Amino acid sequence: MSDVVDEQSAPSVALGLRAAEHAETRMLIDGELVAAASGAEFANISPATGRELGVTAAAGAEDMDRAIAAARRAFDESDWLANRALRRRCLEQLQSAIEGDSELLREELIAEVGCPRMTTQNAQLDWPLADALRYPARLIDEFEWERTLDGGGLFGERNVRTVVQAPVGVVAAICPSNFPVEVILNKLGPALAAGNTVVLKPDPNTPWNATRLGRLIAEHTDIPPGVVDVVPTPSNEVAALLSNDPRVDLISFTGSTAVGKHLMRQGADTMKRMFLELGGKSALIALDDADVGAAVRGALGICVHAGQACAANSRMLVHRSLFEPIVAALTIAFETVPVGDPTLPETLVGPVISAAQQARVLEVCERGQRAGARLVTGGGRPEGLSGHLAGGHFLRPTLFITEDSANPLAQEEVFGPVLTVLPFDDDDQAVRMANDSAYGLAGAVVSSSLDRGMAIARRVRSGVFGVNGGMFYGADAPFGGVKNSGVGRQCGVEGFRQYLETRTIAYRAPRKR
């Protein structure tokens, strides 16, 4: 059984009370912080305790319509898309405002996301805060917005063509619950820097970080009314207005593959552009020359934030010569990983986001076992949780082994602290097994030979890949997947281009003498 980091003084409850005291419960529409037109609200539930933290305004169809109209008007009628200096200044103001609220935001994330405190020091908060807005703000000045082509005229006339990069228009940014601030900032930054307007729809499980950003935008920046609208809602029908409305030009979605496919179908009638960052079933490959300790440390990534990361390596492919020692070391590691209260600095595995997700993880594990996977350690809820944590959505770090690549645990995205280990006999088989997936988001390899590791990396079909612990994360590095893992890229120049249209303008000019 995993060591449980239990609570004596109910720190998660105290944190929840503090988060509720400082939370922004209103949405941002057309520059104003407002309640829902109907007055409706919905509960924000703590994943660590199962208790209500507080409430948030629940947008209805009227609110969503008003937000889309405001974003459309701001794009069509204001000088936002043409005024690059204003865009850069506003992003710098927002950066400063978030930094001023960063510690409140950190505590809010731990309370509503259930993420362990240590994760806020990297991808949950500190990493995106460092460059998610700064990088696209810098691109406003550095990007090649226009280029000129000469030639191709008729009747001896000089023909000049100017290729212009222009904003797409109104962007619907639909964000997940697992890394909400990281995803929101990496959507807002390039979308706004490129000159678009944005309707932001946060996940209903984690609305307060987005509504807080709405308040900071309204109170601390010169972002014009309607350029950013923050519209939380628990209603799928209300959210669907974003994909159906012809006034919305682009859907920028991060979440499950099933929902991504549904959005593509919904957006087809209005020919919406799509950026979809979806699920994954990434493989960590330990070659026969891998250091066992390094391989095990890499595999523990599935335990961080209870495995709720699309790029997490939830499969581990191990050369048969190292299979037994690596499984033995993983067993010890999984049984000693600290599980429990996310407020505590030593906790690595906090709760999953909801009771529904907890049930789904257990259901996939059960199907995997019925299909022949062997449970090595973990499974079910951790023992020893008491008091307020007893109602939380916790799961034990869970390790399975199987020889069958078709097993549900080797094919489906579990989105929990569950690792499935499979043996292989040579490098070619490892690559075939890694590519034997409907997904293609991430992956990794451990080898004592960099050349060998790089050769594996170039053969595995994934959008990002790590060799010997290499980190692909950063606002300057494109992130996204192939196959069922999505369409397009987030971050980098490639991610910036996601929010731009290419236009060609031609004119006749006198011949050069």
Q: Which two tokens stand for residue 107?
A: 């505590």
Q: Could you tell me which of 213, 215, 209, 212 has the C-alpha nearest to residue 178?
A: 209
What whole-number distance in Å separates Cα of residue 301 and Cα of residue 153? 58
Is 68:199 a contact under the CB 8 Å cutoff? yes
Q: Which two tokens stand for residue 464?
A: 């990002």
The active-site residue, picked from 310, 365, 413, 491, is 310
What whole-number distance in Å separates Cα of residue 16 and Cα of residue 55? 12
Q: Could you tell me which of 333, 411, 410, 408 has the C-alpha nearest to residue 376?
A: 333
In the beta sheet, which residues pair with residue 349?
339
Q: What is the DSSP string of 151-189?
A: ---STT-EEEEEEEEEE-SEEEEE--SSSHHHHHHHHHH
Instruction: Find the helix or strand (DSSP H, E) in which 53 lies.
Output: strand 52-57
Q: Under 8 Å CB-to-CB from 444, ≥6 apart: which residues?
A: 282, 283, 284, 285, 298, 313, 465, 466, 467, 469
What whole-number distance in Å separates Cα of residue 476 and Cα of residue 376? 40
The active-site residue, picked from 24, 277, 412, 413, is 277
What whole-number distance in Å separates Cα of residue 175 and Cα of residue 475? 17
Q: Tell me the three state secondary structure of residue 285.
A: strand
Q: Could you tell me which of 176, 220, 169 has the C-alpha nearest to residue 199?
A: 169
Catalytic: 277?
Answer: yes
What whole-number distance in Å separates Cα of residue 347 and Cα of residue 333? 14
Q: Cα dist. 502→163, 245, 275 in Å?
A: 7, 23, 16
Q: Under 8 Å CB-to-CB from 305, ≥6 apart: which residues?
A: 115, 116, 119, 124, 178, 349, 350
What whole-number distance in Å separates Cα of residue 33 and Cα of residue 67? 12
The residues annotated with a catalytic role in the active site are 277, 310
